[in-house]
């Protein structure tokens, strides 16, 4: 899942979508629009630095379910 280390915590598009309560397609659109940055690892794998995402979008607040 997450890889922690000196360079931060890297997560998948699906994990960011789950954190923010949106569809993975929305996260992909944010990347394409330049709202958040992503790193391509290999030919298909994309990872996002979670702290960078938080700085750009803010930390999500828990919703009352």
Owning domain of residue 32: 10-57
Residue 51 included in any domain: yes
Residue 19 included in any domain: yes
Phi, psi of 15, rounded to the nearest 5 degrees:
-65, -40
Residue 36 included in any domain: yes
Residue 1 included in any domain: no
Q: Is the whole model's pTM more than 0.85, yes or no?
A: no
Q: Which of 32, 4, 26, 3 is nearest to 14 (CA)?
A: 26
Q: Are 51 and 16 in contact (CB under 8 A)?
A: no
Q: pLDDT-derived band of residue 43, with 50, 70 and 90 as boundaries?
A: very high
Q: pLDDT-derived band of residue 64, with 50, 70 and 90 as boundaries?
A: very low
Q: What is the rounded average pLDDT of the residues 29-45?
A: 95
Q: Is the pLDDT of residue 3 over 50?
A: no
Residue 14 included in any domain: yes
Residue 62 included in any domain: no
Question: What is the total count of domains within the chain?
Answer: 1
């Amino acid at each position: 899942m997450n890889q922690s280390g000196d360079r931060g915590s890297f997560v998948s598009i699906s994990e960011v979508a789950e954190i923010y309560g949106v569809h993975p397609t929305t996260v992909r659109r944010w990347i394409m629009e330049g709202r958040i940055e992503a790193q391509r690892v290999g030919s298909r794998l994309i990872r996002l630095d979670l702290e960078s995402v938080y700085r750009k979008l803010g930390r999500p607040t828990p919703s009352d379910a």
